[in-house]
Amino acid sequence: MFENLKEQPADKILALMQMYRDDPREQKIDLGVGVYKNAEGITPVMRAVKAAEKRIWEEQQTKSYTGLAGDPAFADAMIGLVLDGAVDRDRIAAVATPGGTGACRQAFELIRMANPKARVFVSDPTWPNHLSILNYLGMETVTYRYFDSETGGVDFDGMMADLKDAHPGDVVLLHGCCHNPTGANLNMVEWQEVVNLINENELVAMIDIAYQGFGDGLDEDAAATRLVASSVSECLIAASCSKNFGVYRERTGLLMAISDKPEQTKLNQGTLAFLNRQNYSFPPDHGARVVATILNDPELRADWAAELEEVRQSMLGLRQQLADELRRLTGSDRFAFLAQHRGMFSRLGTSPEKVARLRDDFGIYMVGDSRMNIAGLNQATVPILAKAIVDAGI
């Protein structure tokens, strides 16, 4: 049997992570995988996470199974964090999932189950795992224009023109904030236009929100998701806690299915629980319990929000420093978009050859499409990167 297996394509981001580890040079900069790193290059356990873990260790009496949907306190707390009352609770079905990836996977399966003919419209570019999972599930994808490499912003006219090709029942996958891999985002006026198109053409919205709190703030980053969820008749939301709680390896996420018909919620909830049962039965609990503990305790929540705000500010500072340094070196505003982008990532907008040159000649690792993890920088390495960008002729 095993001899029938074929080599599967590697995940380019994870392969790059290994390449960086194997590079013996002392002077090297890792701007690859999307993990937050502080100025010392460490991905810390957040203070509130440590405190919540301690509390759970002290107080938890059992590790018996939860329910197929996970701990209801986690779902309620996350619904509050993401939607903050924008949608009535009785319209929301929700299950805990192994990370945001698990939420996406379950959402795609639910779409395929409910409407096998649905095509999923994805931004060009999008997080590669979206396409990888959709292809694996045999689902049809269509790309819509998104990144404008001339301006470093969103090609909004192109995006709207391409979305007009979607048929009723097709799904539009949108990044709630902090677009991965480009860092370019819609403004709220543009979001409203997308909502109008979704409603006029009877499309289904799906939002992947993996970086709430990394862009403009916790509420600001959720504003588009709240707008969509409160304006369309049906939508799916895949939320990840990996980044904003720093619980990457705990695999903590939530999938919501929202309908404007409360009488639909029971069936949606049952279907989400069924999908969990088919794939892994009970979702992981530890990260979810940590998140619920933090969100439900005013002191822990305030401390978590404060630390997250420090993280956000540090990335904004690095963005500004890099844009300023590149302006100084090039005498132009060509790279001003780096300060406008939001979240962990920016797409520099250069060729794979130049990306390889940065790696080979300067020890700077970014993804082949020129996506940089801004959190891989610190104040000392920003000037090194800026000079390398200029020296590589970018």
- Enumerate binding residues for ligand TYF (CB under 6 A): 11, 13-14, 33-34, 127, 129, 180
The distance from CA 56 to its chain's CA centroid, rounded to whole angstroms, is 27
Using the minimum distance from each CB to ligand TYF, give the nearer residue, 93 or 125. 125
CB closer to ligand PLP out of 205 and 392: 205
Catalytic residue among 30, 52, 118, 127: 127
CB of 341 to ligand TYF, least distance (A): 15
Write out the H or E segment, with its range, that includes residue 124. strand 120-124
Rounded-to-integer distance, Cα 335 and Cα 323, Å:
6
Q: Would you call 46 exposed, middle or buried from its count of C-beta atoms within 10 A (0-12, 13-18, 19+)?
A: buried
CB under 5 to 8 A by kind: which of ligand TYF, ligand PLP, none does 13 bind? Answer: ligand TYF
Tell me whether residue 210 is one of the annotated catalytic residues.
yes
Residue from 373, 192, 11 nearest 365 by CA: 373
Q: How far is the CB of 104 from ligand PLP (least distance, A)?
A: 6
Closest CA to 322 of 367, 380, 365: 380
Q: Is 184 exposed, middle or buried (0-12, 13-18, 19+ CB in 10 A)?
A: buried
Measured CA to CA, the distance from residue 353 to residue 232 in angstroms comes to 43
For position 339 contacting ligand PLP by CB under 6 A, the verdict is no
Does 114 participate in catalysis according to the annotation? no
Binding mask 219-258 for ligand PLP (x = CB under 6 A): ---------------------x-xx----x----x-----
Q: What residues numbered 24-83 form the site for ligand PLP, per CB under 6 A?
A: 34
Is residue 99 involved in binding ligand PLP (CB under 6 A)? yes
Residue 11 interacts, among ligand TYF, ligand PLP, none and using kind-specific CB cut-offs from 5 to 8 Å, with ligand TYF
User: Of ligand PLP, ligand TYF, none, which one does residue 14 interact with (CB within 5 to 8 Å by kind)?
Assistant: ligand TYF
Question: What would the DSSP string read from start to end of 303-372?
Answer: HHHHHHHHHHHHHHHHHHHHHHHHHHHHSSSTTTHHHH--SSEEE----HHHHHHHHHHH-EE-BTTTEE
Residue whose structure tokens are 């590589």: 392
114 CB-near residues (< 8 Å, 6+ apart): none
Rounded Cα–Cα distance for residues 196 and 201 (Å)? 8
| Cβ 105 to ligand TYF shortest distance, Å | 12
- Report what 33 binds from ligand PLP, ligand TYF, none; CB cut-off 5-8 Å by kind: ligand TYF
Do residues 245 and 294 lie in contact, with contact meaning Cβ atoms separated by under 8 Å?
Answer: yes
Q: Which is nearer to ligand PLP, 242 or 268 (CB)?
A: 242
Q: Which is nearer to ligand PLP, 304 or 335 (by Cβ)?
A: 304
Dihedral pair phi/psi, residue 124, rounded to 5°: -110, 100
User: Quick check: 52 and 300 in contact, CB under 8 A?
Assistant: yes
* Residue 36 interaction partner, one of ligand PLP, ligand TYF, none, beta carbon < 5-8 Å per kind: none
99 contact choice in ligand TYF, ligand PLP, none (CB below 5 to 8 Å, kind-dependent)? ligand PLP
Length of the chain: 394
Chain residue whose CB lies nearest ligand PLP: 99
**Per rule CB under 6 A, is residue 208 in the interface with ligand PLP?**
yes
Binding of residue 180 to ligand PLP (CB under 6 A)? yes
Q: Which of 37, 52, 155, 243 is catalytic?
A: 243
Helix (H) or strand (E) holding 295: helix 286-295
Q: 237 burial class (0-12, 13-18, 19+ CB within 10 angstroms)?
A: buried
Q: Which is nearer to ligand PLP, 81 or 382 (CB)?
A: 81
Residues within the interface to ligand PLP (CB under 6 A): 34, 99-101, 127, 175, 180, 208, 210, 240, 242-243, 248, 253
What residues act catalytically?
127, 208, 210, 243
